[in-house]
Amino acid sequence: MLYLWSILLVLVNAVWFGLVLFGLPGNWLIVISTCLFAWWQWEAKVFSIYTLIAIVVLAIIGELFEFFGGMRGARKSGASRLGSVAALAGAITGAILGTFLIPILLLGTLIGACIGAGLGALVTEFVRGKELKESARHAVGAGLGEFLGITSKFTIGIVIWLIVAVAVFWP
Say what the pLDDT of residue 102 is. 87
Rounded Cα distance, 147 and 114, in Å = 6
Say what the pLDDT of residue 97 is. 93
pLDDT digits (tens, 9 = 90+) for 67-112: 899 899 999 999 999 999 999 999 999 988 998 898 887 788 889 9
Which residues of the chain are modeled with pLDDT < 50? none
> CA 49: distance to chain centroid?
24
This prediction has a pTM of 0.84
